[in-house]
Structure 1
């Protein structure tokens, strides 16, 4: 699962907002699909640059590209994926984003809304917003310090 951080949360929210407001969306275009739109926000590359990087590297959609990812390669797509990993994502997160399939994200949706279509703009927006909410809560939970109850737990007397 992604490493929760403000940069990634903000990028997910901005991407969802841009898609809601009519940003180019075409699931078959590597720079205009689910991951491609998020990549624009995280890498500041254009949709056409992203698409060109993908075509220069190897065949396949984002799921296939991330399955073949090599972190030490200098292939254009691998360099771009590395930037997204540095922002907190994993290759599994990217595969799930492309298919809208992360169980942790989907579990947060009402049961009747859990069957999202990976190539429907409104479903992508819902998924990205929900993913951002999930990461935001995880980030908050990481910052909360709980008291040390070990002394209480060691007492054998009942109250």
Structure 2
């Protein structure tokens, strides 16, 4: 699972909000597809810029992720690096473009799970909502345990013993 952070969760939430409120969505457009919409929020690039960068190399998101080289100097590879720095993995990005991560799908009701289509905006929104819910749950669990440990370290009657 992604390296969870408040910034990553916020980027997911902004992406979902934009998609629900008529952000351009086109699965065949590198800047307006599943990965492209999330990339806009993580990189602050426009859909046009993302698409332009993608055209400097061949292939769709999956192909570009397979060919990803962090030292190539290609703008698309630099953008992917930024997404990885935000906490995502190459495999998660590949799965996002195809709506295929089994951990995420396992949290989608069975009636919908087997009928998701990679190029249907409503299905992308459901996938992203499910994923961000998982990330939020992980983030809360992590921070709750840190809070408990912090409280245990600062028990007043033990501090002054």
TM-score, length basis structure 1: 0.88
- Residue 154 of structure 1: aligned partner: none
Kindly state the Cα deviation for residue 138 of structure 1 after the two structures are TM-superposed: 1.1
Distance in 2 (CA, whole Å) between partners of 1:36 and 1:75 is: 17
Distance in 1 (CA, whole Å) between partners of 2:28 and 2:62 is: 12
Distance in 1 (CA, whole Å) between partners of 2:70 and 2:17 is: 30
Distance in 2 (CA, whole Å) between partners of 1:46 and 1:143 is: 33
- Residue 85 of structure 1: aligned partner: 84
- Aligned residue for 2:124, secondary structure, equals helix
Distance in 1 (CA, whole Å) between partners of 2:124 and 2:78 is: 24
Q: Quick one: higher RCO (CA 8 Å, sep 6+), 1 or 2?
A: 1
Q: Deviations over 1:19-55 (max 9, x none)?
A: 1111100000000000001111111101000000000
Kindly state the Cα deviation for residue 88 of structure 1 after the two structures are TM-superposed: 0.5
Q: Deviations over 1:99-132 (max 9, x none)?
A: 0111111111111111210000000011111110
Structure 1 segments unaligned to the other structure (5+ residues): 148-159
- Residue 31 of structure 1: aligned partner: 31
Kindly state the Cα deviation for residue 67 of structure 1 after the two structures are TM-superposed: 0.9
- Aligned residue for 1:109, secondary structure, equals coil
- Residue 67 of structure 2: aligned partner: 68
Kindly state the Cα deviation for residue 13 of structure 1 after the two structures are TM-superposed: 1.3
TM-score, length basis structure 2: 0.87
Kindly state the Cα deviation for residue 142 of structure 1 after the two structures are TM-superposed: 2.0
- Aligned residue for 2:142, secondary structure, equals helix
- Residue 17 of structure 1: aligned partner: 17
- Aligned residue for 1:101, secondary structure, equals coil
